[in-house]
Amino acid sequence: MGSHVCLDAAFERACRQNGYRHIAGIDEAGRGALAGPVIAAAVILPPDCQITGLRDSKQLSPRQRSHLSDEIHRVAISIGVGRADPPTIAKVNILEATLIAMQEAVTNLSPPPDYLLVDGLDLPKTAIIGKAIPRGDSLSVSIAAASIIAKTTRDALMIEFGETYPNYGFPKHKGYPTPQHREAIATFGASEIHRHTFKLLADEKASTL
């Protein structure tokens, strides 16, 4: 089946049967990274939209994600993106920062949604009714689309950061805790876009003293 897998739109159909018209799928990228922002995306797809190969972004190659991102941008009714940078993550916590980014993504949708389908356990703080769906990126077409937009948006940003901070290998690992990334932190210390709230950073910084 491979790239020809299509997710079912059962959640979206159920919402429309209950009278909702603009159903937004919401997901994030970067929550588990050591550096860079959390990016959230919200996507409203047209009814009965079928995009070949659409599924959880983590199951796709970079090339597949890029192709599907272009297709989502082509067919979506609306796409919104939100962002929470390391200072926000440090001020609140990673969960709250993720919800802030999701709230911003919803705010950036036009037309606005009347129902939210959110990957995970928590809903962003909005007046819009919604449903949190664990592993939603593998169950809902709208959430899967949002996962791809969030991932491709963040990956492009981390590649740009690689030019500003060339010592860390951001284009390769996108800020996630790979051995190469940990070694770079131990060697060069934390950069301005590293999340200083992670204990790993404090431990590795101390080991260089």
pLDDT tens digits along 25-61 = 999 999 999 999 999 999 999 998 888 888 878 889 9
Residue 137's identity, in one-letter code, is D
Q: Which of 19-23, 31-35, 103-107, 196-200 is predicted least confidently? A: 196-200
Out of 3.40.50.800, 3.10.105.10, 3.40.309.10, 3.30.420.10, select the CATH number for domain 2-163. Answer: 3.30.420.10
Helix (H, G, I), strand (E, B) or coil at 116: strand
**pTM for the full model?**
0.91
Residue 204 clears pLDDT 60, i.e. is over it: no
pLDDT score recorded for residue 50: 83
Q: How far is Cα 130 from Cα 115, in angstroms, rounded to an integer?
A: 5
65 vs 52, 85, 126, 145, 155, CA distance in Å? Answer: 12, 23, 29, 10, 11
* pLDDT of 200: 52
Calculate the average pLDDT of the chain.
Answer: 91
Give the integer Cα–Cα distance in Å for 28 and 38: 7
Task: For residue 97, give the 3-state DSSP assignment.
Answer: helix
> For position 48, what pLDDT does the model report?
80
3-class DSSP state for residue 202?
Answer: helix
Distance CA 3, CA 64 (A): 8
β-bridge mates for residue 118, sequence order: 26, 132
What is the structure's pLDDT at 203? 54
Query: Beta strands 115-119 and 130-133: pairing type?
Result: parallel
Distance CA 172, CA 179 (A): 12
Handedness of CA 116, 70, 40, 112 (dihedral sign): negative
Percent of the chain with pLDDT over 90: 83
Report the sign of the C-alpha dihedral through residues 108, 112, 118, 123, in that order.
positive
CA distance 18 to 33: 38
